Amino acid sequence: MYHLKPHAILPARNILGEGVLWDSRRQALWWTDIHGHRLHRHDWSRGTMECFETPERVCSFGLVESSEQLITAFASGIALYEPRQQQIEWLTRPQLPAGARFNDGRVDRRGRFWSGTMIEGAQPRAEACLYSVSGSGATRCQVRGVTISNGLCFSPDGGQMYFADSPTRLIQQFDLLEPEGLLSAPRPFASTGPGAYPDGATIDADGCLWIAHWGAGRVVRYTPNGREDRTVLIPTAQPSCVCFGGPDLDILCVTTARDGLDSAALATEPNAGDVFLFRVDIKGMPECEYRR
């Protein structure tokens, strides 16, 4: 167990905070409130927060090289999006099954954007897909038969991809085959315990995977061989995504959610939906940027 108190708490009060990432170029922390239809930007040096109303739910996003745009997985498709001007340039809007929307996403080391879909509703079905989008906008369905796409991140050398279908409680590892950007057959990497569902993830400079355990109130670090190494307890049950931020990339940033919590749970978890910042003795890696 890694006994840490939050370095700071950003009072976001998100319904479903997600997709947190650090923007080194602008020294800012970004995240989305999916169900709140809002995109948040925290200026690190000024300590100020901007909030952008979004035309559609923003489910995940990435930075774009030499641009103010974000490559964005909206609920219905993937687009280049400039939040201040509310400009959208759609790249792909695949035909999704009933009840499906996009979910977790991340840019790989070659500058492609990956985002998976999920099936919403009380009876989720394994009909979702993991997509990749190249710099030209070419879109490929890479993994089929998914229920809730999560856990996307890439090894420091870009040769490995991690991915989780949350209800299975299994994190899988793939070889990322270049130059086509295809995936090998998956192999098991790590499993989470009962009631702990793998959600958003990131990789640190040592090649270890940090992943939020939704429902279990923790973030767990796994070594490259899949061994559980450290556990950071989060004072709310639903941590959703993680990244390393701050000028030295030594702040573990964790989004959380209020979604589905009743009044009794919210009374015991007053910071549910906020963003927790923990200073750690490990550094992350700069976020990759989408290359057109």
User: How many Å apart are CA 70 and CA 68, to the nearest integer?
Assistant: 7
| Rounded CA Rg of the chain | 17
User: How many Å apart are CA 248 and CA 80, to the nearest integer?
Assistant: 28
Q: Quick check: is 238 in a domain?
A: yes
Q: Quick check: is 219 in a domain?
A: yes
Q: Quick check: is 2 in a domain?
A: no
Q: Which residues pair with 32 in a beta bridge?
A: 18, 39
Residue 278's CATH number: 2.120.10.30
DSSP classification of residue 220: E
> What pLDDT, in 10s, does the model give residues 125-146?
899 999 999 999 999 999 999 9
Confidence bin at 230 (pLDDT 50/70/90): very high
Q: Quick check: is 168 in a domain?
A: yes
Amino acid, single-letter form, for residue 246: G
Asked if the model's pLDDT at residue 208 lies above 80, the reply is yes
DSSP letter string over 119-186?
E-SSS--S-EEEEEE-TT--EEEEEEEESBEEEEEE-TTS-EEEEEEGGGTEEEEEEEETTTTEE---
User: How many Å apart are CA 173 and CA 177, to the nearest integer?
Assistant: 13
Those residues whose C-beta lies under 8 Å from the C-beta of residue 56, and which sit 6 or more positions away, are 37, 74, 75, 76
Q: Quick check: is 1 in a domain?
A: no
By DSSP bridging, strand 289-290 and strand 58-64 are parallel
> What pLDDT, in 10s, does the model give residues 78-132?
999 999 999 999 999 999 999 999 999 999 999 999 999 999 987 778 999 999 9
Q: Quick check: is 105 in a domain?
A: yes
Number of domains in the chain: 1
Q: Quick check: is 183 in a domain?
A: yes
> What pLDDT, in 10s, does the model give residues 37-53?
999 999 999 999 999 99
Query: For residue 46, what are the domain limits?
Result: 8-290
Phi, psi of 284 (to 5 degrees): -90, -165
Q: Quick check: is 3 in a domain?
A: no
**Mean pLDDT in residue range 256-281:** 96
Contact 102, 117 (CB under 8 A): yes
Contact 53, 67 (CB under 8 A): no
> What pLDDT, in 10s, does the model give residues 155-170?
999 999 999 999 999 9
Tokens coding 5: 């108190």
